[in-house]
A and B are shown apart, each in its own frame.
Chain A
Amino acid sequence: MMNRMIKGVIGAAALGAMAFTASLAQADALDNIKAAGVLKVGVKADYKPYGFLDSSGAIIGLEPDLAQDVADRLGVKVEFVPVVSSNRMQFLEQGKIDLMIATMTDRPDRREVVLIPDPNYYSSGTNVLARKEFGLMTWEDLRGKPVCGIQGAFYNKKTGQEFGADIVAFKGTAEAYAALQQGNCVAFVYDDSALVAKLNEPEFAEYEMPLPTIDDAPWGLAVQKGETAFAEFMSQTVTDWHKTGKILELETKWGVANTPFAKAMHDKYK
């Protein structure tokens, strides 16, 4: 028996060794990208209109368009890698993607892990969609009530901790909207721009967005930590996007009302 246990320990150690991964020494990212001729960009594939699939399976949207622009400036081809909130920073750290433009809110703890060049390229706020008859007045009214959210969204935490709501997190928006309609939760906490669009649908005529938008937080694109030259290049690119009004133009192209943030940045850098 003892013998068997010792073998067990050795076996476990061997497994651990198998799992061990060597880290790779990294040359300058810009040179690598140009040498490879491909810019690998992590984008969302389930977040309309910022990154979603067309019926052929290709990823399209506002952020893929921005990524395409970056690749054009570098004179390379673009390759989209679909990411989700829970793996986007790991992919960047591993070097699986060179650049991440994936609806990521710019927060200090994220800046510790990845390099987010300034200025920010976009911004969104948090709001809730609730049934009119519920008579929601303030965020505090959500205390102790079930509120639907999306897995991996940072505002779940805030709504849960600060306002005391019980967050029920779903995989996708369709599941969350269905849960809201079936009465599994009193409200759905999500990006304000998406919720405004939803209110126009006849199905949601009985719903409202009664609360003030909170957490109007900027979005950051990111490169690997330590890639200062690439970050510098991205800073110039984002500045240029604001200057030329590319963000406003893309918002119109993808059917989003021009956001105050994009307008303000355009005015600032004009």
Chain B
Amino acid sequence: MSESGVPELVGAGVEEERSQSGGRRMVLNMGPQHPSTHGVLRLVLELDGETIVSCQPEIGYLHTGIEKEFEVKNYQQAVTLTDRVDYLAPLSMNLGYCLAVEKLLQLEIPPQAQWMRVMLTELTRLNSHLVWLGTHALDIGAMTVFLYCFREREEILKIFEQFSGQRMMTSYFRIGGLALEPPRGWHERVKTFIDAFPSRIDEYENLLTNNRIWIGRTKGVGVISLEDMLDLGVTGPMLRAAGLKMDARKDAPYSSYEKFDFEVPTRTENDVYARYLLRLEEMRQSLRIIRQAMDGMPPGPWKADAPHVVLPDREKMKTQMEALIFHFKIVTEGFRVPEGEVFQVIESPRGELGYYVVSDGTTMPYRVHMRTPSFGNLQAVPKMVEGVLIADVIASIGSMDFVLGDTDR
């Protein structure tokens, strides 16, 4: 053991030693390159036979210093950093940051932009849940589901591409509204998708819900008490699968969520299977929200009337001197944000996403801290897997739905 308490395992994946009881204890390094950890998570597992004696997660392999980078970008440029944190839910990341800065600026966002934001973040939730379901099933051995999920995900990415020009790093929400005018024909495209999607969810259910292997691998696995989860900082679907109705979309509605009719599903079994059923139900609820947003999309502008923050239209820029001056100022130095601090919480597909933004009155954030759901959730891994069989580790950590970019920032 090294000074830090983590076993030194240079050049070897496995280390054995005699335990006090005479049995053989083995230290196994799972990750940082393991196919089922979905990124660079390292779990140092101490095993007694096939039982986990202790588990120590090691993170930081994907730390890219994004919070430092924020401090040398102006507010609008920094939107592009947020995508790269949780790359499976880029629009949720955009939204949280924009809302935080808009709160500091006390900026009123027009209804169309707000509804568009709701619609696209819910599509992001579907996107994220699809990746989760596909890879989680793949880990447990059901390969077909993966192919089906990625088929639908591709459609969502095409919608994102139509809106923003990008499949993953969308940066489509900007401070003051949207980056571009919604594209012509988006309505048909989204409609085609959501009309087909409910039957696709049924397909996944057909493959898994009553599948004996799936049930055997997930029912009663990965249980951790609600008290432990709250104490350890777990949020999102994990809590809701344990019966706690905690969802920022209902508790502290943002971006007009209060105007939408949807349920926050909960379950009480609190195991991997319950989390699976819960996320499927969340997908159905997201569809309801998307449909309402699409059908009731209010007309009007898609960016705020705030010339000192939002870039002017091209046409105005060429005909009006003030517009040209504002354009020049915003592009060259950005805009000033009044001194203050906010903590904006939104519900990302993984749980509570909080942006703590501190402004010192200049054009660049003084400090941005991201309270990311994966970081909090991963803290509960040891509690969840200690004492269980090694095969259940895969199912348990899969059910958390973490993203390492989101953890390490």
Partners in one complex: no
